[in-house]
Chain A
Amino acid sequence: MTASGSLDPITFEVLHAALLSTAQEMGAVLKRSSYSPIIREMEDFSCALFDAEGRLVVQADYIPAQLGAMSLVVQSTLEQWGDAVEPGDVFIANHPYMGGMHTMDLNVFAPLFVDGGLFAWAGTTAHHIDVGGVNPGSEGPSHRQVYAEGLLLPPSRLYRKDEENPDLFGLIEANVRDPFATLGDLRAQHAACVLGKRRVDEVVERYGPATVRAAFSQALDRVEKAARVALAALPDGEGEAEGYMDDDAVGGPPTRIHARLVKEGDHLLVDLSGSAPQVPGALNVPWASTRATVMFLVRAIADPDLTTNDGILRPLEIVCPRGTILNPHPPAAVSVRHNTCQRLADTLLHAASSIWPEKAVGSSTVTFVGMSIEGTSPKTGRTAIMTDVVGGGTGGHRWDDGLDGVDTYLANVALLPVEVAETEYSIRILRSELIPGSQGLGEQNGGLGLRRDYQVLGTTHTAIVYCEQTDPRFRPRGVAGGGAGAPTRLTIFGPDGDVIPTPSKVTMVLEPWSVVRVETSGGGGYGDPAARDPAAARADLEDGLLGGGERLSGAAEP
């Protein structure tokens, strides 16, 4: 270490590699030993290390929606417990108004002490299949208060002196629908934290606490600098965009999201104050999620390979008044905040496109069909909740067509394999196919949307399905003269095959043999369709990608 307290670049890089590798090892442990498919198959979790003040130092990359997550939770733990934090404590928290995201994201994190003093934290956050509440899966667009969304946990000790706290385990067990999976996953999260602590201990033993502390602080400076350099490389400018949610989640009017970006030098102002006031339904976004979405924007426009820690926030100024949908007052419900985050991401990128047209990208679908169907597993006879996230098209861009049938923007969740769904749940998937003609046309086309038909078998099932972009006005936009993607459609067929009229966000009981059909949007096109490479246009026809007459006009949208 030099006199100024900063490490030489070699020592820093070696230490940083060790810390990053620790976060990745934690992820490997968590992923491989978890029970919930949403963790293991969908990688809806994160692992990270924090300094003593709760600043995020390194995070293993799994899902953008949790970028920078947890530092607010660790900080609120410090506020609440301060000096009462002791060695051997392991905390759990999920409260959306105490740094959490939504209630299903359970944070488990452990303080690490060196020479009797608090030195660092190792933490994990993972989306659990259910944390109780009114609905199976705990989500519900029509929830009006966070109290409906399951067990609320302020920072609490899940372990004391490295022993399970039976009171809390008992409380959780009594409140969730699938305690077997939930408790198993919590133990996996704990195992990951224990590993993280052990690795940091080893590093401290070898290099000494002062050096490691300096590495923490330098890691934050390094990411800050990288973000500033990347921002400075973009031309200065100002732009804005708006986007809408189909409704307010309880049948009301569309909800506006607005973003204004001002880039000057190495600084970026993100002004979200033009967004709608908080809504009665569960589309509200807790602050941690809004922040994660802005971090996503910075990585997408400035440097996709930027590593993430709290240093990335330093060149940013985010203006987002309390009481708006993006920073609500408690106890507004937040469980389906992901839909709003996706729309926010799209709106931010659209604003960025107006400043940097050479980087403009057609809109990806933000439909985010979330679905939970509660039934009985044919294998175990136990209650089983099937969740699936059906992706759609991503936007065309200057280099290529968009991707077909994938998750977009802030998440990258895999589709549930048919052969898993029909083995584990009383569900049959009748078809799973791309929708020709759903893509926005352009010089580079958007990607195709996806059609999936789910038939419930045997008994009645409770289903929660919600999606966006069923309103054609809000379908994925094209850019640079490209056309828009088709809107999303949700259709429910009764046992007799008749269509049961339903809104786009619905909780309902399905009779046996009912079918839920989900058709997601395609992505927006890029550039003038007339300029499309003739060979590519010919291939579109030969591969049957253009569909019949039912597609909407491919005209460019503003």
Chain B
Amino acid sequence: MSAATTPWARRPEKAPDEPPLFLHELIAAAPAGARVVDAGCGPGSWNYADRPALAITGFDIKFPPGPPPRAAHVGVVRADLARTPLEDGAFDLTICHYVLEHVTELRACRDELARITRPGGTLYVAVPRAAAFDDRLYRFAGYFAKVALMKFGKRIEHQQRFDLAMLKALFAERGLTLEALARVPAGFSWMNDPRTKPLQGPFTDAVAFADGDATLVAKVPTTPADPAAGLVDALGELVAAGVPPEGVRLIVHGTTIATNALITGRTARVVLLTTEGFRDVLGYRAGTRPHLYDLEVSRPAELVRRRDRIEVHERVSGQGDVLTALTPEEIERAVSEVADRGPEAVAVSFLFSYLADGHERAVGEALARRLPGVPVSLSSEVAREFREYPRTATTALNAALRPVVGRYLLRARSGLEGIGLPSSFLVMQSSGGSVPAERADREAHRLILSGPAAGVTGAVALGARYGLDRLVSLDMGGTSLDVCLVREGELPMSAVQVVDGHPILAPAVDVVAVGAGGGSIARVDAAGALKVGPQSAGADPGPAAYGLGGKDPTVTDAQVVVGALGEGAPLAGRVALDRAAADEAVSMVGAPLGLDLDAAAEGVIAVATAHMVGALRRVSIERGVDPRGYTLAAFGGAGPLHAGRLLRELGFAGVVIPTHPGLFSAAGLVSADLRLDESQTVLEVLLPAAREGFAAWYADAGRRVIDRLRQDGMPRTRIRLLGSADCRYLGQGYELNVPLRGLTERHLAAMAPAFHELHAATYGHAALQDPIEVVTLRLSAFGAPARPEPALIETGGRKPGRAALSGDRPILLPGGRRPEPVPVYRREALRAGNRLTGPAVVEEMDSVTLVLPGQRADVDRFGSLWLREERA
């Protein structure tokens, strides 16, 4: 992980005058010329690249040998932490990151750390907690000793177990007392959470398309200190590579800015107004615990502190009638209280405002007058849906993100102008649609899951290109596997997602994420069972074969052992893979299981495949479909490597592997439509009389969204509306989203039969006699921007040309006893019409495809590979 790009931890309630607590804050805040030492630096766990002015010394008992440390280390020595050659008080900042748990002479090491840090300097210590479920940070008086305790399934034997009492005692012996305690939200595991995966990508990818022309690709390091700079750098590279700035018609941007802000706690300070008697809706949340069996779980972080939650004397009934009117005096009082707190943004969420929004609007107008420039989010505008907790959380989240997203987009726009690019661009939303940057801040809560959405959007475009109406998209990267089922070109959506413990009411592409990526770690548990994932080595240190200091055996290492990944494979931009390191890592699980190296590696892959099969089954069963008959679109760096096995396990009709599978998510952005979503909870029984009211809402909402898209410059002819309604049998608690073929009363008449049919298809039964309740009406508007045509590749014969074959490699194939030679092809040299018969390997810059015996791969004119079973 790198200090700069990792969402290190949420820091609750940090006052502006408080000193920095987290490591990346310390690094950022260190004055130029500060003397910094990285004690036990290993191969360079932290990336100091954004603070080149610091003089950072590193030392490690095991160093050298090993790969060189990060360039930012100015001097590296080999030293034992228990007895370093460094002078007393030599450093202003001492970093000791995940080292103490490995040492045998704990007290001697503690003494050295205290000794080499100058009095009044800063000492940072991070250790994993035994049986930990969260991260914690401690600040000690005198020095700041930071102790981050994290849950991470390291196999490396630890010499020490830490808990609060023990740490306090340890540091007290050197006159240090615990001064402050901060914590990371419960249940948040930033190493493993697939939703945070984009944050671990240390690179910004940019892809340029031109009509019928080859794509151009740029990859630049992410710049956490100024995230907008990374975007501008990446596009600048493309310009440098020959993209004429004045010829650029469309820029689509996927960003983790909102996710990052949420997970690192860098959100705006929000004041929340609630109905009297309900200020604590964000305090007790849903009334449930984050873990069933862990009695030592951490408190979840609060979006809005209790002191900033203000009650307002007003009340609307469950039928939408005003029970307690909101008086002008009360508005004045509430607004004054808000102003006194000086918030960066304000959220207003009153009970039943989805039925009657007058009170929220009145307060909103008064706030706008009193606090010009401070964004105000009303729950009746952000999410007109019932259930007060998710609606209030969504509204508070929207408010907390608006200033952050707004500042970012402003910088990005001026940066683009600076390099001659158009400053108006589109931003990807969680829904798989995009929104103009000019007003994306108002939709900030809709940007949180834009990462997974981009890949699926690309898969939908792929399906459209080939006329496939039944598609499973599989995006497998280093950390996780995102699976999504696409029918008839429509993205499956969920109306609510939970991110970092907060429910968000906003349509998001319904992606099932499992912790099964190339970096997933294999281990043998105490009971002797082979487990793979969900812990991941991520991109850094990554699999052992990357040679970046990772020691744990991962799925990628297993693929190196069986030979599917060749040592020369330039995966993830690495120069070479370290076969010996992979062997050593995988033998760590082989030995306790009594398996030889090959069998252990095959076992790790088989278990990982079983998890993938489970995920694919779950996405299909939840929609009542059988994956047979579906085509699998496999991409992400690791997807094509596993596609052949999944084809065999699940009996897909075939697998399509697009060109540049590792960059497919970035490429997918360009296929996103502009998208607007509206919703309204109605909770009405579906009787013919109700249809008139529904049709009127669709007509009003339709006018609103069309107007907005036209203001965005979208011609009416390119705008498409899609209505749907969340329905349930009266008395049920979960809704099914029923798509509508049109929005007139005639189309609404088809809603009931469509719901019965959908219920039967989804759950295997329908209750034709039962009344149906319409819970929420939904309308989405899509505007399709003009897009470049895809490039075609040259045509060749059935047999690949000689230039395409780069040689043979011994590979242990599934079910095989020993490795056998398998031909290896270069993808860029394949021609349309070529057919490869399995076993075969296809290598390209960012991915490797394995075709199993009994399978074949055909190349089409777009360069896509089609895997099929020969017998099929």
Contact = CB atoms under 8 A, between A and B. Distances in A.
A85 interface: no
Contacts of A430: 277
Given A24-B618, A417-B388, A406 B318 contact: no
Interface stretch (A32-40, A95-103, A109-117): A32-40
B163 interface: yes
A422 interface: yes
B147 to A, nearest CB: 12
Instruction: Classify the interface of chain B: helix, strand, loop or mixed.
Output: loop
Given A35-B732, A399-B296, A188 B614 contact: no
Interface in B596-626: 599, 602-603, 606-607, 609-611, 613-614, 617-618, 621-622
A536 interface: yes
Contact of B388 (A29, A230, A418): A418
A195 interface: yes
B154 interface: no
B295 A13 contact: no
A525 interface: no
B590 to A, nearest CB: 10
B127 to A, nearest CB: 14
Interface residues of A, number: 100
Contacts of B283: 404-405, 434, 448
Given A28-B622, A419-B351, A420-B386, A17 B607 contact: yes
Contacts of A403: 289, 297, 299-300
Interface stretch (A321-329, A408-416, A465-473): A408-416
B318 A378 contact: yes
Q: How large is the interface on B (under 10, 10 to 19, 20 to 34, 35 or more residues)?
A: 35 or more
Most A CB contacts (10 A, CB to CB) among B287, B299, B617 go to B287
B607 A10 contact: yes
Contacts of B163: 358, 398
Interface string B280-291: 110111111101
Given A184-B729, A296-B293, A434-B284, A21 B307 contact: no
A181 B136 CA distance: 46
Interface string B300-340: 10000111000000000111000000000000000000000
Nearest to A30: B763
A466 to B, nearest CB: 18
A149 interface: no
Interface in A394-445: 394-395, 397-408, 412-415, 417-423, 428, 430-434
Nearest to B528: A225
Interface string B524-539: 0111111100000000
A305 B286 CA distance: 23
Given A191-B763, A432-B278, A544-B307, A398 B387 contact: no
Contacts of A14: 606-607, 609-610
Nearest to A218: B529
Contact of A184 (B165, B178, B731, B734): B731
Contact of B164 (A24, A394, A398): A398
B762 interface: yes
Contacts of A9: 528-530, 593, 595, 603
B692 interface: no
Nearest to A431: B277
A106 interface: no
A296 B294 CA distance: 10
A32 B622 contact: yes
Contacts of A222: 527-529
Contacts of B300: 403
A394 B289 contact: yes
B293 A405 contact: no
Interface in B91-136: 129, 133-134, 136
A121 B505 CA distance: 39
A304 B621 contact: no
Nearest to B296: A397
B764 A542 contact: no
Given A64-B292, A434-B284, A535-B181, A229 B606 contact: no
B870 interface: no
A141 to B, nearest CB: 22
B768 interface: no
A402 B151 CA distance: 20
Given A9-B530, A64-B292, A533-B180, A418 B729 contact: no
B662 to A, nearest CB: 27
Contacts of A545: 306
A398 B287 CA distance: 22
Nearest to B604: A10
B610 A535 contact: no
Contacts of B292: 61, 63-64, 304, 412
Contacts of B289: 394, 403, 406-408, 412
Interface string A264-300: 0000000000000000000000000000000010011
A187 B759 CA distance: 13
B178 A544 contact: no
B134 to A, nearest CB: 7
B343 to A, nearest CB: 15
A105 to B, nearest CB: 18
A210 interface: no
Contacts of A433: 277-280
A147 interface: no
Contacts of B710: none
Contacts of B531: 13
A400 B618 contact: no
B734 A31 contact: yes
Nearest to B278: A432
B287 A407 contact: yes
Contacts of B317: 422, 428
Contact of B386 (A37, A300, A361, A423): A423
A536 B165 CA distance: 17
B387 A417 contact: yes
B287 A405 contact: yes
Contacts of B607: 10, 13-14, 17
B686 to A, nearest CB: 13
A31 B732 CA distance: 10
Contacts of B281: 432
A10 B287 contact: no
A86 interface: no
Nearest to A450: B284
Nearest to B352: A419
Interface string B164-181: 110000000000001111
Given A13-B607, A17-B607, A361 B295 contact: yes
B763 A188 contact: yes
B280 A415 contact: no
Nearest to B311: A433
B298 A432 contact: no
B284 A13 contact: no
Given A378-B318, A395-B295, A423-B386, A13 B287 contact: no
Nearest to B138: A533
Nearest to A423: B318
B787 interface: no
B422 to A, nearest CB: 44
B730 interface: yes
A230 B181 contact: no
Given A399-B136, A404-B284, A422 B318 contact: yes
B446 interface: no
B181 A28 contact: no
A218 B474 CA distance: 32
B439 interface: no
A10 B284 contact: no
6 contacts: A35-B733, A233-B526, A380-B685, A397-B295, A406-B287, A542-B307
Given A230-B526, A304-B292, A406-B285, 14 more contacts: A9-B530, A9-B593, A32-B622, A32-B734, A33-B763, A188-B763, A226-B525, A300-B295, A400-B297, A405-B280, A413-B287, A413-B288, A415-B287, A422-B317
> 3 closest Cβ contacts across the A-B interface?
A405-B284, A415-B287, A422-B318
